[in-house]
Amino acid sequence: MSSEEFEKLHEIYKSLFEELKLLPEKALRSQGEERKRLVRTFDERKGEADEVLQGMDEELRSAPSAFRNMMSTKLRMYNRDLGKLQRDMKTSDSGSSSQAGVGSHPGVYSYENQQSTQTQSQRALLLQGSDSLTNASQSIERTLRIAAETDQVGTDIIEELGGQREQLDRARSKLVDTGENLSKSRKILRALSRRLMTNKLLLGVIIIMELAILAAAVYLKFFR
């Protein structure tokens, strides 16, 4: 949204509105061609004001939501103000026509006024529907963003759990290796223990044999 363009349109509308709000009273005091000229001028200026409001509405569509909601409310108020001025203009036109002896039939201007009022009502309803759709779209966007963030958190948790599983698998492998090493150590210790017992037995036999030889030598020397 161009804020400069919106402000420019806003100033144009205020200028047109200031001119429009003076015309019903002037038309009420006028008669004949002057009154017709004022009615034509009012219709022209109101058409310009409607176009300006439509341009402002188009500029608001790309505005931030907070600013758009606030100014959309003002636009609806501006449309109601224009409708009130048009009803005042119709009243002044009817009053002038009655004073001039034309009668109370509103004619073509009354039909156009009714059509314009219906158009303004439909436009106000469309603006309200557009605001509702915008709010719903923003709500959906927030929901989708939260869902995406939740999905990302779930993915991160799954990846973290996968890393912890790998760590547990490595720890289990280390425990298995440690158990195998302990089994090998036990086998080695058993082998060493058996070898030590064998060495002790051999040493005992050697000692016994040496004692027997020594005893035989003593016997042969001293007793024979």
| pLDDT interval class at 57 (50, 70, 90) | confident
Spacing of C-alpha 107 from chain mean position: 54
The gap between the terminal CA atoms of the chain, to the nearest Å, is 137
> Per-residue pLDDT averaged across 2-28, rounded?
84
Residue type at position 209 = M
The two tokens of residue 28 are 């009420």
Question: Is the Cα dihedral 95, 97, 101, 104 positive or negative?
Answer: negative
- Distance between CA atoms of residues 140 and 147, nearest Å: 10
> Per-residue pLDDT averaged across 213-219, rounded?
87
Q: Is the pLDDT at 107 greater than 80, yes or no? A: no
Domain ranges of the chain: 3-142
Q: Is 61 helix (H, G, I), strand (E, B) or coil?
A: coil
Q: Say if pTM beats, i.e. exceeds, 0.85.
A: no
Q: Where are the alpha helices (DSSP H) in the chain?
A: 3-20, 23-29, 32-60, 65-99, 107-222
> Per-residue pLDDT averaged across 144-161, rounded?
83
Distances (CA, A) of 183 to 35, 192, 208, 209: 117, 14, 38, 39
Does the domain spanning 3-142 belong to CATH 1.20.58.400? yes
> Residues in the chain, how many?
224
Spacing of C-alpha 52 from chain mean position: 32
Least confident of 39-43, 93-97, 135-139: 93-97
